[in-house]
Amino acid sequence: MSEQVRDAQPPDLPALVALERTLFGAEAWDEASLRAELDGPGRRLLVVEDGPRVAAYASTMVLGDVADLLRIGVDPARQGRGLGGALLAAVVDHARAAGAHRLLLEVAATNAAALALYGRAGLVEVDRRRGYYRDGVDALVLGLALA
């Protein structure tokens, strides 16, 4: 894969907003929410470019010994090319470097592609939040020991 994971910059925000809307619909973050991910306490927003376009992104928050993967998304036209895996690996590396002992995330129980990605990375279900999403779908809380 020739694409590189890098820190997001303010000029990336319009592309990130568009990807959010495409991927998450009613659950999408707006520009203000994404802007807060650029420099909020313990936050890091990563992107992968494919040519001149942002093709994928991930947002994390590390507080103390816990890292939360808040968002990860890949442009539907670019899925299946390893971008999600590259981002997840970068998130894990960053979390370890920041001193986190575990990584947590929430994912829709119906998101088979994401569940497969997380399973390949060794994340396991640690909890279930019934009816968590607006459409009534359960959220699975997945975790990965980092220490």
CATH of the domain at 92: 3.40.630.30
Best CA proximity match to 86, nearest among 112, 107, 57: 57
d(CA 25, CA 134): 11
d(CA 145, CA 147): 6
d(CA 26, CA 16): 15
Q: Which helix (H) or strand (E) holds 50?
A: strand 43-50
C-beta atoms surrounding 136 within 10 Å: 8
Q: Per-residue pLDDT averaged across 110-115, rounded? A: 93
pLDDT, residue 111, reads 92
CB crowding 91-100: b at 16 or more within 10 Å, else e: bbebbeebeb
For residue 66, pLDDT over 80 is answered with: yes
pLDDT tens digits, one per residue of 117-127: 999 999 999 99
Q: Give the strands of the sheet with 124-129, arranged side by side.
A: 5-7, 43-50, 53-63, 66-74, 102-108, 139-145, 124-129
Structural domain total, the chain: 1
2 or 19, which is more confident? 19
Active site residue 57: no
| Active-site hit among 3, 106, 125, 133 | 106
78 is in which domain, residue-wise? Answer: 5-145
Q: Which helix (H) or strand (E) holds 96?
A: helix 83-97
How big is the chain, counted in residues? 147
| Active-site hit among 20, 37, 57, 118 | 118
Active site residue 133: no
pLDDT tens digits, one per residue of 14-60: 999 999 999 988 889 999 999 999 989 999 999 998 878 899 999 99
